[in-house]
Amino acid sequence: MKLRFLCSTHHAHLSQDPARALIFWQSGFDTAQIFFDEGSWSEALAHIGCAFETAEIILMSDVVDSQNSIELMTSSAVMLAFTLLKLNRVDDARDVYWSSIWRLERELAQGNVEYSELQKNLGFLYSCVENLNARFLFTDNTPVEATVHHSISIH
């Protein structure tokens, strides 16, 4: 994924202190939700982007159990993708979904989690990609909104 929200200093600091990363994730996610609910998409983007990147740090740590870290990653990905869609950044939203899927599948391939722990979340993320692809058609690499709309809900 080409989007970056955390600077290298903050990323390193949070990686060294996973307990702090969990607090930072919660603050970023909650703040993003407030801005999202207000329709302040640009303001929400910075906060949910940081929460999304922090969720990956949490996933790599043992600060919470694997099921909860998977849930944090999935929730962050969905809100980040929704925010990007509100800003008409369809390709970036699609990239967020795919990078999340690939990241969670890498956890499975490395033996860090069981398939049963990932099944619900991966299924939901794949569903989000399918809905996004059904909603937006492509002509000359330009996304065009289709007339059939599918809804996606944030958990």
Instruction: Walk me through the domains of the chain, giving residue ranges and CATH numbers.
Output: 8-145 (1.25.40)
Q: What is the pLDDT of residue 68?
A: 95
Contacts of 25 (CB under 8 A, 6+ apart): 51, 54, 55, 58, 72, 76
Q: What is the pLDDT of residue 153?
A: 44
Position of tokens 């699609």? 94
**pLDDT tens-digit profile, the chain (155 residues):** 688 999 999 999 999 999 999 999 999 999 999 999 999 999 999 999 999 999 999 999 989 999 999 999 999 999 999 999 999 999 999 999 999 999 999 999 998 888 888 999 999 999 999 999 998 865 444 555 544 444 444 44
pTM: 0.86
Pair 117, 66: CB distance under 8 Å: yes
- Reduce the DSSP state of residue 137 to 3 states and report it: strand
d(Cα 95, Cα 101) in Å, to the nearest integer?
Answer: 10
d(Cα 147, Cα 150) in Å, to the nearest integer?
Answer: 10
